[in-house]
Structure 1
């Protein structure tokens, strides 16, 4: 997603002027695009390589992390095509298509990770029934179908109506954020409760598992808030046609938050498996 794709004119503005303005990339966007291309592509490719070649691919979280990295690689390619779209308009259209990977793909798989942690803590019996890999493949397949449908919607709405695009991503972000907040609150309630007949050691081990799940969901939620809340607020400002100061600067700030928070996922993954310390050590 980038701020140059959003229509800063009124609904009555002509389509031609909107398309022309969408082709202009400012300094902030060029800076973030460059970071995403130069660092995003190699980092997320490295994460995918670690997951595929590692011994932990059977874990549901790792399987969903693999899909998140695929979405972020698509985002880096979208940034590359957006830059090249200044000279080749067809590539600009393809960058609109790839925005669906970031608008729907990344938050959807983050939601699946939170729901998986929620089931593990609150409904452990159901979680054990759904633990086989085939259920994760089914969930991922359905998620990718929704994601590619979102890619088509992004491309069509950005080419026809930027206000419809604002409706589209604002409502989606609200839905994803609500699901993750529900999972967070449910796990927090479970942390305060102890199972019947639990002994001290068993209770301590279970609480440690619950705390790990809670912290994972909490970090994901904080990342979601920083990433999507600014876009939700600015999107509704655009939808309601509320006149505020420099709307372009506000979109640039949202875009900066949106892109930079995408690096939290690979940093957490590398830190969790001790790869970050190896990379930082001389």
Structure 2
């Protein structure tokens, strides 16, 4: 096999002839690759098109807070986590744009700034998904204690958990800085694997509660309970599927760095393509939120037909 057809990431070309800084992450070397530029630019365009959706969710949360706060209405935990998740999503979109601008103009400062902004979503989004699934798990599997403590202890735990997520996201940026010019692959995939197992456990537990026969009672009440369990299971299942896609996409994007049996151009194309698998995990909670709020066209149609 010729040396041109097999390349190690340790000998990939630098970002530009004028910049040989060791602070540049390994995958920036692929920015000279045309497939990588085209694919990642397409991803950034699609990601930027989602920005109005994320802003809409935040605007709806602000409107709810203004209109319902005076009435003493409590915000559901799932909605609270969704509103919070929109912030790292927006930071990620801005970071991806800054990243592309910096790499195309060979500005290392912009590249690193965009990289840190882009990667803040890696722990933040995943942890808000975990908190949403744990909330639905508690509501379905332990309904009585959950309802009794939802508006007291539950709110305090929700606030503390959210603060911890933001602190961990800030800590993750520091970890990435320590690992430069590499990516903290092992810590990240260990963290993601633990989160996926927690969500998978919640999914199985809610499925068991859904299939388990409920206590005696009125048919309509049991029907409402079953519908609530069904919605919780659908939400957790959707998050589970999208996080598995995200895991595969990030594994493709970051897990091939030590491969020596893949052609450079092919590697750069695969590196860019894998990131598209992370898009569904950014969409699942906003779309489910709009579905619950009846803002999707299909929801209006179904509501009108009932």
- Measured after TM superposition, the shift of residue 126 of structure 1 is 3.5
1:243 match: 261
Q: 1:128 Cα shift? A: 2.6
Q: Give per-residue Cα distances to partners, 1:206-240, cap 9 Å, x unaligned.
A: 1111111001111111111222223236644445x
Q: What whole-Å deviation, never above 9, does each CA across 1:42-74 have from its counterpart, x for those lacking one? A: 221111001121248711011000111111101
**Where do residues 77-226 of structure 1 align in structure 2 (5 Å cutoff)?**
77-86=94-103, 87=105, 88-132=107-151, 133-157=155-179, 159-162=180-183, 165-226=184-245
Matching residue of 1:33: 44
**1:229 maps to 2:230:** no
Matched-pair contact (CA < 8 Å) for 2:137–2:205: yes
Matched, 1:10 2:7: no
Larger Rg: 2
- Structure 1 unaligned regions, length at least 5: 1-6
> Which position in structure 2 is the counterpart of 1:4?
none
Q: What is the aligned partner in structure 2 of residue 73 from structure 1?
A: 90
- In the alignment, is the contact (CA less than 8 A) between 1:166 and 1:238 conserved in 2? no
- 1:45 is aligned to 2:45: no
Assess if the C-alpha contact under 8 Å between 2:249 and 2:276 holds in 1.
Answer: no
Normalization by structure 1: what TM-score?
Answer: 0.83
Q: TM-score, length-normalised on structure 2?
A: 0.77
Give the conservation status (yes or no) of the 8 Å contact 1:226–1:257.
Answer: yes
| Partner Cα distance (2:192, 2:21) in 1 | 29
Distance 2:279 2:219 in 1: 44
In the alignment, which residue of structure 2 is the partner of 1:59?
76
Go from structure 1 to structure 2 and tell me whether the alpha carbon gap of 1:45 and 1:131 turns closer, same or farther (over 3 Å shift): same
Over aligned residue pairs, what C-alpha RMSD do you find?
3.0
- For structure 2, list consecutive stretches of 5 or more residues without a partner in the other structure: 1-6, 15-19, 302-306
